[in-house]
Every structure is written in structure tokens, then in C-alpha cells.
Amino acid sequence: MALYNLFLFCYPKIAKLLGLFNLKAKQWSIGQARVWDDIKQKQATITKPIIWVHCASYGEFEQGLPIIEALKMQYPSYQIWLTFFSPSGYLHRKNDPAVDAITYLPFDGVKNAAQFIETIQPKLIVFIKYEFWYYYLKVAHQKHIPVLLAAAIFREDQLFFKWYGGLYRKMLNWFSYVLVQDPISFKLIENKIDPPKLYLTGDTRFDRVIATVNNKVLFKWLAALNNFPIIIAGSTWPSDHAILQKAITTNPLANWIIVPHHVDIRSINDCKSIFKSSITLTELENLIATNSNHTTFTNSTTLIIDRIGLLRNLYQYASITYIGGGYTKDGIHNTLEPAAFGVPVIWGPNDSKYREAIGLKNAGGGIQIKNSDELANTITELITDHVKRERIGNAAFQFIHENTGATQKTIQLIQEKRLLIN
């Protein structure tokens, strides 16, 4: 406990110092400095009882969004208050219409936890995936507010499974119910938590990507590309760009769409310097406007998407996809979005923490590559072998559909346990 309190004392100070050099740390510090003003402002707009949903960052929000939408549909007499820990979630979603109030989570501590819960008085708390804040859970437990840990996932290297992880095991048992994504997580914690609290419900991201397929957005500017197959490289990093170069050179009869993970001016310019014959989406749209919508390329095109929010809908146009991040320490990004459109998915070697990617690979819908030669050869084979490409795409599509339903199971549990009353 002393170490946890030391962490709480040091973290804001370190973040403020790092903010001199790191934009994300600076944004977090600024957000925490004005969080109570934001809470007061949002509180004035609330007219119904609150369901509080907390997500660490943008990725966890994507995981939690199906639950949020289902809660709003099933319990219209409640409002949703969403909190984020990370600027990557808050800044991208602070005006999201799916929820009624969005703020940063005041940093954990005796005073902040008590004040926040007293202010919004939630009737149900839902933490998404893996957020564990001692004082918030303690206050909720003392006040008998039901708390769900939804779409949770556990790994052997986490603190719960260390001899010195007693504090985290205690926090785990303060949840009213823990809803895990997969059998591995279930088995890891079944002896760490009261058995009636533990449920295997699945991964809500499968429901999220199906919703994207069913409500997809179309892009007229893609008509400017010729009829060559489209290969989409999504959420790419500089290490991915180095790998992609050879594949693009080796497969000239294809249109490539590169969607960098970061789309600031410097990142886009760095990307353009690697793919020298490329054009950005902004440049393409300006060209189309100048030519009265009659722009059509006769040769293959390498298009760099220089804005956020388009990737998940772009995958519908792909013949083959490559997912970035496999050459970074954090690992690959979302493999489920392209798989939901029935498209073969390729990624780099760092996938060990991503069970959905491993499951996709085992189902025959995904391919892990190790280097640029493997990527170039794999793409060449998939472009020329239509039967194999279709077989892998169908396997990806089937894998997604076989794993949907986590959102429904979550709502069913809330209903069966009468955690909320309409």
C-alpha cells in the first residue's frame, strides 16, 4: 500500500516534468489541472441517474462502445458519464454523442475518489478491460455501488499473479462481477476471485467491428484510383514503412493506401519521404476539386491518408490488408476491423499480447510475417492466387462472426443481477 501511495504522489509530478518534452504528458497534466471545473460544468447538464463508464484510453473506448450503446438502448432512464485516463481517449472523444458527459478521471486518491463518486453518484460503474484504481474501488465497495470489470483480459506477468500482488488481488475482489474475454483469462483468475463473480462473456470488439460493417461509410474519392487491387496498410509506424517499401516495389500492379498511426505534419512528411511517388488524401481531394471530379489515375497509386477516423471504413475496399505495430515494442494494432470485411490480414512479429490476432491466425484468416521479403512474397502470392486470397478472407470473416455476442451477454448479466432498475 505504501508503494501505491508513493506512486500516486510521484506520478503527477513526473508527468508535469515530462510535459516539458512530451506532448501527451503535458496534455494529461493540463487535463488534471482543470478536471474539477469540467466535472462541475458537465454535472449541470445531468438530469437522470448516472451509469459511470471508465476507459483508460481510445482503444478501451472502442472496446466499451458496444456496451455503452446497449446500455443507452436498454436503460433510457439513465445517462452515461464517461471518463478517460489518457489524453488519447479524452481528446479524440470528448464530444462523442454516444454519451452524456465526458471528462478525465481525477487522479486516484482518498479525496478525489470520494469527491468524484459523491458528485456524480453513479448507480452502476463499468470499468473496461484493465483499469484498477484502489481508492475508487474502495469507495464504491463501501457505498455498495455495483462495479463491473467488462471485457477483461489477464496475463501471467500481471501483478495479480505475483507473490507481492496482494493489493491488486484485493482490488480484484472489490468488483461485483468480472467479465473476461477468453478461457485463458478465466483460468488465470478463477482461484483469485469469489467464483460467483466470474463470467466468461467474450470480447466486445467483435461486436464493435460487426457494427462498422453494418453501418459502413463510403468514400467517393476512391473512384479516382484505377482498377488494380487495393492493399491497405493501417496504423503504420516508421518501422512498418521500411518493411512496406519492398512489397510496394515488388507489386506494382496494386494501389496502396497507407494510413499512418500518427497524422501530424511531421509524420506525414516523413511518410511521404519514404514513399516518394505518393499523394496524400488532402492533395487528392484538391486535385479532384480542381478537375471538377473527373480525376482518374491510369497507373497504380500510393495514397497516404493524412487524417484520423477513416481507417475502419476504408477496409471494405481492400483486397489485402497489413496491420502496423508489429515491429514496435507495444505490438500490433487492430486486426479485427479488416477481418470483419472478409479481407486477409497480415502483420509483423510482435503479436504475443494480442490473443485475438493469434486466434485469427489459428483460424486461417491472418498471416504473421517476419521481414520485408516475407511480406513482399505473401502479397505477391495473394494477388496472383485469387482462390487462396478468398479462402483466407472467408476464414477471417467466419472467425469474427463466431466470436460475437459479448455485449449481449454483458447486458444480460446486468439484467439478471438487477444491477439497474428501469
175-221 pLDDT, tens digit per residue, is 999 999 999 999 999 999 999 999 999 999 999 999 999 999 999 99
Q: What is the spatial distance between Cα 225 and Cα 308, in angstroms, rounded to a whole number?
A: 21
**Exposure b/e, 12-39, CB count within 10 A at least 16 = b:** eeebbeebeeeeebbbbbebbeebbebb
Which CA distances in Å does 258 have to 77, 262, 307, 314, 372? 43, 11, 11, 11, 16
Residues 6+ apart with CB under 8 A from 353: 155, 331
Residue 296, all three cell numbers: 482518374
Residue 89's pLDDT band (cuts 50, 70, 90): confident
**Exposure b/e, 125-156, CB count within 10 A at least 16 = b:** bbbbbebbbbbbbbbbbeeebbbbbbbbbbee
Which pLDDT value is given to residue 58?
Answer: 87
Expressed in percent and rounded to 5, the helix, strand and coil fractions of the chain are 50, 15, 35
Which pLDDT value is given to residue 404?
Answer: 96
Q: In this structure, which amino acid lies at residue 404? A: T
Residue 150, all three cell numbers: 467488462
Nearest to 378 by CA among 365, 390, 368, 387: 368
Q: How many CB atoms lie within 10 A of CB 194?
A: 11
Residue 87 scores a pLDDT above 70: yes
Which pLDDT value is given to residue 192?
Answer: 92
Residue 422's pLDDT band (cuts 50, 70, 90): low
Nearest to 107 by CA among 45, 207, 15, 169: 15
Q: DSSP label at 105?
A: P
Which pLDDT value is given to residue 295?
Answer: 74
Decide: helix, strand or coil at residue 291. Answer: coil
Query: Strand 147-152's sheet: what is its strand order?
Result: 101-104, 79-84, 50-55, 122-128, 147-152, 177-180, 198-200
CATH 3.40.50.11720-classified regions of the chain: 34-202+405-416
> According to CATH, what is the number of the domain 212-402?
3.40.50.2000
Which pLDDT value is given to residue 279?
Answer: 94
Which pLDDT value is given to residue 324?
Answer: 96
| Start-to-end Cα distance in the chain | 39
Contact 92, 73 (CB under 8 A): no
262-318: pLDDT as tens digits = 998 999 999 999 998 899 999 999 998 888 667 788 889 999 999 988 999 999 999
Give the percent of the chain with pLDDT over 90. 81
Nearest to 211 by CA among 312, 355, 318: 312
Q: What is the spatial distance between Cα 154 and Cα 130, in angstroms, rounded to a whole number?
A: 8
Which pLDDT value is given to residue 247?
Answer: 93
Query: Strand 366-368's sheet: what is its strand order?
Result: 279-280, 302-304, 255-260, 230-236, 320-323, 345-347, 366-368
Q: Give the dihedral sign, CA 197/203/205/209.
A: negative
Q: Which architecture characterizes domain 34-202+405-416 according to CATH?
A: 3-Layer(aba) Sandwich (3.40)
Decide: helix, strand or coil at residue 162. Answer: coil
Q: Which ranges in 78-195 belong to alpha helices (H)?
A: 87-93, 110-120, 134-142, 166-172, 183-189
Global pTM value = 0.89
Residue 218, all three cell numbers: 463510403
Q: DSSP label at 34?
A: T
Block residue for cell numbers 468480472: 178
Nearest to 396 by CA among 347, 318, 340, 353: 340
Q: In this structure, which amino acid lies at residue 187? A: K
CATH 3.40.50.2000-classified regions of the chain: 212-402
Residues 6+ apart with CB under 8 A from 349: 326, 327, 368, 369, 370
